[in-house]
C-alpha cells in the first residue's frame, strides 16, 4: 500500500507543479512552446515519481529488515535462558 500511496501523492504534487509551470511558460512564450513543455514535464513527473517511490520503499524495507534482525538476534540470545 505504501508504494501506491507514495506514487499517487508524488504524481499529484508533480502534475500540479507541471500545470503551474506550463501556465507560466504560456504567459511569456508562445502557446505551442507551452504544450511542448507540458508534455515533456508530464512524462518526467511520472518517471521521477516512480524513481522517488522506489527509493522510499527500498529505504523503508531496509529499516524493517534491520528491525527484524534485532528481534531475531534478541530472541536467539534468550533461547538458552528458556531451555
Q: What is the pTM of this model?
A: 0.70
Dist CA 6 CA 26 (whole Å)? 30
Q: Residue 62: is its pLDDT beyond 80? A: no
3-state secondary structure of 30: coil
Domain ranges of the chain: 2-82
pLDDT of residue 38: 94
3-state secondary structure of 54: helix
pLDDT of residue 69: 63
Beta-carbon count within 10 A of 30 CB? 10
pLDDT tens, residue by residue, 14-56: 999 999 999 999 999 988 899 999 999 999 999 999 999 999 8
Amino acid at each position: 500500500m505504501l508504494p501506491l500511496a507514495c506514487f499517487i501523492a508524488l504524481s499529484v504534487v508533480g502534475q500540479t507543479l507541471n500545470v503551474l509551470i506550463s501556465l507560466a511558460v504560456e504567459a511569456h512564450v508562445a502557446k505551442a512552446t507551452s504544450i511542448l513543455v507540458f508534455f515533456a514535464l508530464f512524462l518526467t513527473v511520472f518517471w521521477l515519481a516512480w524513481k522517488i517511490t522506489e527509493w522510499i520503499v527500498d529505504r523503508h524495507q531496509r529499516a524493517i529488515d534491520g528491525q527484524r534482525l534485532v528481534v531475531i538476534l534478541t530472541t536467539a540470545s534468550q533461547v538458552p535462558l528458556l531451555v
